[in-house]
């Protein structure tokens, strides 16, 4: 009887020993994957920062220790690169896009969430379908319209072009957050005498701030990094930082040190933004996932 009990307990003991070992292997594999993914993202950023301060003779070397220099950054502000003017264009275009896109997207998202339009979900689907069109199809009519209006190579042209893809994108994101909010809140405000718009801005929007902030972050990143529309619709006065990188391609070759210096001004705002808005970003993604 005791032998049977001992024999039957052996597999259980072996399984109990193997479970912690399996957990350790699983945890080790997860940690290795995290390290690899982090290095894939971080190493290019480290290369850009290092190259921006390397002397030109050391740009293609793998030397870790070198004497930093500000010459590349100073040269990027001079002709023909003019990073200062290009940075100002990027800031104004992105700020103008967000200033128009977020209020418009908020109102549109609220309308799609609370009202029923003829045709059901046809209107929201049409808005979403615009995101599936290749940019090269949209930029051609935009180029013709802006040329006839005299808006080529202006910041307004880039702002309007950015709105064509930022507004649908932000509208669908914010609509998801509004769908998760009960309509009782604004109905109670309307009973107290508020109009629907007043109920939206004073009751609904404060509750949906994480979701709206998430849409604003995505809109900022997309507008700040936009390249194709800015390349076609700008020539000199409205050139943004992503397009200005092409100015470092000369007949003598690519000036990687200048490109890296200009790249610093492209990635720095996004790194700073991610530091300050990660709380809203995480809260917005969580809120949007709850139904």
Q: Which of 169, 158, 181 lies closest to 216 in space, CA to CA?
A: 169
% of the chain beyond a pLDDT of 70: 83
Predicted TM-score (pTM) of this structure? 0.79
Region 85-90: mean pLDDT is 93
> What are the residues facing 250 on neighbouring strands?
253
In this structure, of 90-94, 179-183, 201-205, 280-284, the range with the lowest mean pLDDT score is: 280-284
Helices 83-114 and 209-225: angle between axes, nearest 10 degrees: 140
* Cβ atoms within 10 Å, residue 18: 10
Confidence of residue 25 (pLDDT cuts 50, 70, 90): low
Burial of 195 (0-12, 13-18, 19+ CB in 10 A): exposed
Rounded Cα gap, residues 193 and 189, in angstroms: 7
Confidence of residue 68 (pLDDT cuts 50, 70, 90): confident
- Give yes or no for residue 165 having a pLDDT over 70: yes
pLDDT band at 52 (very low <50, low <70, confident <90, very high): confident
Residue predicted with more confidence, 205 or 279: 205
Computed over every residue of the chain, the mean pLDDT equals 81
Q: What's the chain's length in residues?
A: 291
- CA dist., res. 58 & res. 237, Å (int): 33
Of the ranges 2-6, 181-185, 238-242, the best mean pLDDT one: 238-242
How many alpha carbons lie under 13 Å from residue 6 in its C-beta half-sphere? Answer: 3
pLDDT score of 10 more than 50: no
Which H or E run includes 262?
Answer: helix 256-289
**Could you tell me if 52 and 36 are in contact, meaning their C-beta atoms sit under 8 angstroms apart?**
no
The confidence score (pLDDT) of residue 1 equals 46
What integer is the mean pLDDT of 224-237? 92
| Alpha carbon distance 124, 15 (integer Å) | 54
The answer on pLDDT for 203 being more than 80 is yes
Nearest to 152 by CA among 143, 160, 165: 143
Please report the sign of the dihedral spanned by the C-alpha atoms of residue 201, residue 204, residue 207, residue 213. Answer: negative
Q: Give the list of residues 6+ apart from residue 118 with CB closer than 8 angstroms, or none.
A: none
Query: Is 94 within 8 Å of 166 (Cβ atoms)?
Result: no
SS3 249: strand
pLDDT band at 21 (very low <50, low <70, confident <90, very high): low
> Is 276 a residue whose pLDDT tops 60?
yes
Query: What band does 182 get if pLDDT is binned at 50, 70 and 90?
Result: confident
Residue found by looking up tokens 């072996």 in the block: 14
Q: Which helix (H) or strand (E) holds 254?
A: strand 253-254
Mean pLDDT in residue range 160-168:
91
Residue 226: burial class (beta carbons within 10 Å; 0-12, 13-18, 19+): buried
Contact 113, 196 (CB under 8 A): no
Using DSSP's 3-state secondary structure scheme, residue 250 falls into strand
What integer pLDDT is reported at residue 227 of this predicted model? Answer: 92
pLDDT of 291 above 50: no
Cα(214)–Cα(281) distance, integer angstroms: 5
Report the C-alpha gap between 78 and 74 in whole angstroms. 7
């Amino acid at each position: 009887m005791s032998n049977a009990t001992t024999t039957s307990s052996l597999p259980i003991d072996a399984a109990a020993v193997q479970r912690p070992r399996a957990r350790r292997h699983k945890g080790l594999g997860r940690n290795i994957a995290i390290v690899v993914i982090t290095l894939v993202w971080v190493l290019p950023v480290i290369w850009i920062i290092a190259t921006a301060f390397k002397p030109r003779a050391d740009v293609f070397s793998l030397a870790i220790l070198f004497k930093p220099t500000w010459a590349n950054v100073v040269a990027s502000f001079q002709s023909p690169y003019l990073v200062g003017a290009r940075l100002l264009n990027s800031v104004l275009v992105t700020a103008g896009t967000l200033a128009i896109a977020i209020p418009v997207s908020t109102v549109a998202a609220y309308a799609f969430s609370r009202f029923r339009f003829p045709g059901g979900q046809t209107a929201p689907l049409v808005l979403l379908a615009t995101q599936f069109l290749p940019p090269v199809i949209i930029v051609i009519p935009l180029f013709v319209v802006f040329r006839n209006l005299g808006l080529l190579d202006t910041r307004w042209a880039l702002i309007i072009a950015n709105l064509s893809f930022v507004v649908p994108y932000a509208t669908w994101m914010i609509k998801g957050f509004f769908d998760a909010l009960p309509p009782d809140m604004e109905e109670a405000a309307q009973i107290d005498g508020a109009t629907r718009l007043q109920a939206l801005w004073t009751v609904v929007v404060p509750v949906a701030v994480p979701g709206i902030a998430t849409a604003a972050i995505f809109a900022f990143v997309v507008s700040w990094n936009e390249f194709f529309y800015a390349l076609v619709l700008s020539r000199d006065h409205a050139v943004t930082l992503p397009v200005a990188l092409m100015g470092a391609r000369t007949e003598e070759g690519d000036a990687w040190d200048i490109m890296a210096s200009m790249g610093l001004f492209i990635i720095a705002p996004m790194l700073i933004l991610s530091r300050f808005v990660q709380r809203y970003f995480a809260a917005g993604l969580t809120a949007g996932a709850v139904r």
